[in-house]
Amino acid sequence: MPEGDTVWLTASRLDAALAGHRLTRSDLRVPRLATVDLRERTVLGVVPRGKHLLTRVEGGLTLHSHLGMEGAWRLFAPGERWRGGPGHQIRAVLATDGVSAVGYRLPRLELLRTDRESTVVGHLGPDLLGPDWDPAEALARLSAAPERPLGDALLDQRNLAGIGNVYMAELCFLAGVSPWTPVGELAEGETLPRLLDLAARLLERNRERHDRTTTAPGDRRARLHVYGRARRPCLTCGTAVRVTADDHGEPGRERPTYWCPHCQPRPR
């Protein structure tokens, strides 16, 4: 599932492959961009911002994409068969003489002026993997709504950018708190600052690999403590991990929540 670490790695690989090279093919397969042609323009760079990707090309243009739940950008050498899904799932193709970058299942794709990037990412909070990461600012944003459940607050990209459902579940477990705990109950102690520090360290540790891991190095039992482990024993206490469907997230985009009822007792 694409989260901040996956987007960072995707941007890094796209930037290494495309930056400084002239586009020889441009195929944007969404209706409003069907006539756009970026050929002959040089790619200036690919920048991650939370869960967003900003591909900047000469002429002051930025191609903004979001991976959503299932999106992916894949790179292919000339003549290599494209693998990543059926052709009808391709939303974008950017090619140079040496590589083709193919975007699959991208739920959001738009072209805008580079000086207007703030219209699509300006609302985001501090980026856990960005140069703007500021734990004090993230803490202030989280604490501004003390009655809000911690799980919801962590998923809100306006508070801090980069955490998705996997990291939300894992961070709550590692902090020993329920995702339903009101933020205000944690704001006065050291729990929230420690959680933010842990979030930054986990994303940093995982940003250069696809096999996201939150358990201790060398632990072969599982890569994650609770996410995706419903009805399996908790790695710490042995209690069956539980899951509730559609419990956190934006209205209409609710996500399942995983937790250990022993290690993370729900608030009264």
Q: Which domain holds residue 25?
A: 4-122
- Residues 190 and 217 both lie in one domain: yes
Q: In 3-state terms, what secondary structure has residue 138?
A: helix
Q: Is 209 a catalytic residue?
A: no
Catalytic residue among 49, 56, 212, 255: 255
Q: Is 223 a catalytic residue?
A: no
Answer for the pair 138, 170: CB distance below 8 angstroms, yes or no: no
Domain annotation covers residue 130 = no
Can you give the pTM of this predicted structure? 0.92
Phi, psi of 158 (to 5 degrees): -75, -20
Task: Report d(CA 194, CA 229) in Å as an integer.
Answer: 25
- Residues 100 and 164 both lie in one domain: no
Closest among 97, 154, 151 to 125, alpha carbons compared = 154
Number of domains in the chain: 2
- Residues 116 and 158 both lie in one domain: no
Catalytic residue among 49, 51, 91, 229: 51
Q: Is 2 a catalytic residue?
A: yes
The pLDDT confidence band at residue 156, using thresholds 50, 70 and 90, is very high
- Residues 99 and 183 both lie in one domain: no
Partnered with residue 259 across adjacent β-strands are 242
- Residues 142 and 255 both lie in one domain: yes
Task: Report d(CA 154, CA 173) in Å as an integer.
Answer: 13
- Residues 17 and 74 both lie in one domain: yes
Q: How many CB atoms lie within 10 A of CB 35?
A: 7
- Is pLDDT of 144 > 90? yes
CATH, residue 95: 3.20.190.10
- Is pLDDT of 250 > 80? no
CATH, residue 160: 1.10.8.50
Domain annotation covers residue 268 = no
Q: Is 131 a catalytic residue?
A: no
Q: What is the pLDDT of residues 114-125, one digit of tens each?
A: 999 999 999 999
